Amino acid sequence: MHVASIFICFGWLEPNGIYTIVLVTILGVEVLITLWDFVEEDMTRKLPATERINHTLLALNYGAILALAAPILYEWSMMENSVTPVHYGWWSVMAIASAIGVAVFGLRDLLAASRSERLIPPNAKKLTESIGVRKNALITGATGFIGTRLVESLVANDHKVTVLTRHKTNAEHLSNPVQVITDLQQIKNDDAYDVIINLAGDAIAGGLWTKAKRERIIKSRVDTTANLVALIKRLDKNQSA
């Protein structure tokens, strides 16, 4: 809501003296909140390149606006304490529209936050309790949204889990203990698995589904499946010998 008050202030009021300092303080707080939000979002989820670029452009845009406003704000701060009504025609009307838009989105976020407790996932252990006897599972794509939850459930039920991922660092957030491999060739001929779950593939979320994107989505899944078929044949051949 403080952002809405900024739009209203710039569109319809001219604060002088101490009131300018209050306005500058609000702008400073907004800078800190925005940077905090960018960092928090970057740490809690994998951001696509386009969103990172968007964040950078927004930060540069806001910085440019503050730089242009700084001389005016300084001049206002040197004046006697007062708040003078002003009107800049359509610019003032646009400021009101912007304030309303910011307020609406703020209320939407507030309502979403009030429902956040319902988004906490239930105990993952229950998802695979019915499997019963301890299994040895190989999972590809285990670092994704579904895979992460699946690994958590299997580990909680004391199943042995091997995870295939291109980079070991991707598996750092997974429940332990898990065995992490980066290539199917690391699996020995005498290794045995009760189940192989293939969740690997190019991400379907984020970005436009261009022709090249669709080709990557299909190829990544076909190639991984073919590699797993070859692995199963290798293990079957060596274990039946």
Q: What are phi and psi of 80, to 5 degrees?
A: -70, 145
- Location of structure tokens 């300084």: 74
Shortest CA distance to 154 belongs to which of 95, 101, 199?
199
pLDDT digits (tens, 9 = 90+) for 70-128: 999 999 999 999 998 988 889 888 988 988 988 888 888 888 777 766 666 778 888 88
Q: Which domains does the chain have, with CATH numbers?
A: 2-118 (no CATH), 124-240 (3.40.50.720)
Q: Which is higher by pLDDT, 3 or 204?
A: 204
Looking at residue 240, what is its pLDDT? 56
Using CA of residue 86, residue 90, residue 93, residue 97, what is the dihedral sign? negative
CB crowding 179-190: b at 16 or more within 10 Å, else e: ebbeeeeebeee
pLDDT digits (tens, 9 = 90+) for 125-162: 888 888 888 899 999 999 888 899 999 999 999 999 99
Q: Is the pLDDT of residue 59 over 90?
A: no
Looking at residue 117, what is its pLDDT? 66
In the predicted model, what is the mean pLDDT of residues 32-44? 77
Looking at residue 3, what is its pLDDT? 72
Other Cβ atoms less than 10 A from the Cβ of 154: the count is 26
The conformation of residue 80, written as its DSSP 8-state character, comes to P
Q: Is the pLDDT of residue 42 over 80?
A: no
Tell me the two tokens of residue 20. 């300018």
Q: Is the pLDDT of residue 197 over 60?
A: yes
